[in-house]
Amino acid sequence: MQLQENAVQPRDDKAFMAKANDVALKSNCIRRAVGAVIVRQGVVIAVGWNGVSESHEDCRDAGCPRCINGGETGSGYETCICIHAEQSAIADAARRGACTQDSTMYVNLRPCLQCLAIAIASGVREVFYAGEDWYYSEEIEKVYRTLSQQFDCFSRVAEQQGAESQAS
Ligand SMILES: [Zn+2]
Ligand SMILES: [Zn+2]
């Protein structure tokens, strides 16, 4: 799959990914820390991290059924109360009235199927991700490819050193 790169100005994908890694530190999910950054016209317009409301210490404290039982990446989301970093970034933009049309998203984990659908609906045109390689079953990966191909660009960027956050 060859995706087209249509940027004309120099861009700093690594710096934006580093920012996503920074933002991930705010996560209060006990499983993993994910951060997302939305960039439009070269400027960060919104950030998000996964987890629950700040009124809880973490998602265990909030009673997340999935995270407490150590849910596998890519499944069991119907019993998870942790918002995903990508969703949180889009919500952040919505709350502050920042337009996400024709934007670029950086996230330090390969997005899930739902986040791809939401990003497409929000006008995100490019997605760059990093972190652990994880996949759905081959059948669902086919659908994943159908969604990811709707972006102008959907690709993994080189890992920042030592920035990876692991579930404990
Ligand atoms: Zn959680
Ligand atoms: Zn997601």
Q: What pLDDT, in 10s, does the model give residues 105-123?
A: 999 999 999 999 999 999 9
CB 37 within 8 A of CB 23: yes
Three-state DSSP at 152 gives: coil
Output the CA–CA distances (angstroms, integers) from residue 136 to 1, 33, 68, 144, in the order listed.
18, 20, 22, 8
Q: Per-residue pLDDT tens for 17-67? A: 999 999 999 999 999 999 999 999 999 999 999 999 999 999 999 999 999
Would you state the pLDDT for residue 3?
53
Distance CA 85, CA 114 (A): 12
Query: Is 86 assigned a catalytic role?
Result: yes
CB 52 within 8 A of CB 82: yes
CA of residue 142 to ligand 1 center, whole Å: 27
- Of 78, 86, 126, 141, catalytic: 86
How much of the chain exceeds pLDDT 90, in percent? 79
Would you state the pLDDT for residue 159?
64
Distance CA 70, CA 64 (A): 10
pTM of the model: 0.86
Closest CA to 50 of 69, 23, 81, 29: 29
Tokens matching residue 29:
């999910």
CA of residue 88 to ligand 2 center, whole Å: 10
Would you state the pLDDT for residue 123?
98
Would you state the pLDDT for residue 158?
74
